[in-house]
Amino acid sequence: MTDPIYSRLLMTFLFAVIIAQASFAAFPELDLAVSHALTDGAGSFVATHGPLPVLNAVMKWSMETVALLVVLGTLAGWVGGWLRGAALRCAIFATVNVLIAPALIVNLLLKANLGRARPVNITEFGGTANFTPAWQWADQCARNCSFTSGEVSVTATLTLCAVVLAWPWLNGHRRQRAVLAGLALVVIVAAMRVSLGRHFLSDSLFSGLISAGVALASYRVLAIGRARTQMGLSDLRPLALWAQSLLQTATDRAERWLRA
């Protein structure tokens, strides 16, 4: 059966990819223009002098922790038999997205190999490296490079998975709010990374598109449209209790470490 919403989303995704790729291929200086607008005119990124670096670090830690819990929770639920049937399939959907989009494609393939220097490290903003357009191979960065953004990818991936899996339990207004809230979160994270000079606009944009592409593909391959309607909230209770126990253990150890 054809899913009209999925078809529209797929067409929108393909259109966005074409527009984004064409725009940055034709006008690679867009990245420099956006980053330059966020500096004090002398090459220093204004946001680095306020509270934003701390907020960014907290957001980064939070998203990475949630992603890790998704993977560990799925593994624990499968091995322990807490997750079965549709619930297990939905958990696998989230895990596959986390492992493929931010972990494999963004970090292991792109960031580790393309060699694009971060904005703060290029000559235009006080660094020593040369600017490299999006998707071009370069030797301006040895590790943990700029293209694309891991933080944006993991945030977009978790947000997409949450909205997709919660969709059947949301009515019209709640669906709109969920989509807008998720989009706002991804935009906020992307804006932080760009304003701090840690990523270019294209880094963030293509990370979001990569996450969306993986979500669209895995949704169809794993038949999540059917599985999410068969999953009841009670199916997730054992996993929620495991996560609560794990979080409590981590909190207790952190408190003991702070008292030491």
pLDDT value of residue 260 = 56
Residue 68: the pLDDT is: 92
123 belongs to a structural domain: no
Question: What is the identity of the amino acid at 260?
Answer: A
User: Does 238 reside within a domain?
Assistant: yes
Q: Is residue 79 part of a domain?
A: yes
The parts of the chain modelled with pLDDT lower than 50 are: none
- pLDDT at position 105 is 97
Q: Residue for token digits 């290029």?
A: 122
Q: Would 42 be classed as within a structural domain?
A: no
In a domain, 126, yes or no: no
Residue 22 is predicted with a pLDDT of 97
| pLDDT over 70, % of the chain | 88
Q: Which domain holds residue 240?
A: 53-113+141-251
Condensed to tens digits (0 to 9), the pLDDT of residues 31-53 reads 999 999 999 878 789 999 889 99
Give the residue from 110, 93, 108 showing the smallest Cα distance to 157.
Answer: 93
Structural domain total, the chain: 1
pLDDT of residue 43: 79
In a domain, 3, yes or no: no
Q: Give, as one character, the DSSP assignment of residue 111.
A: I
Assess if residue 145 is contained within a domain.
yes
Q: Is 39 helix (H, G, I), strand (E, B) or coil?
A: strand
Confirm whether 130 is domain-assigned: no
Question: CA–CA separation, 79 vs 15, rounded Å?
Answer: 41
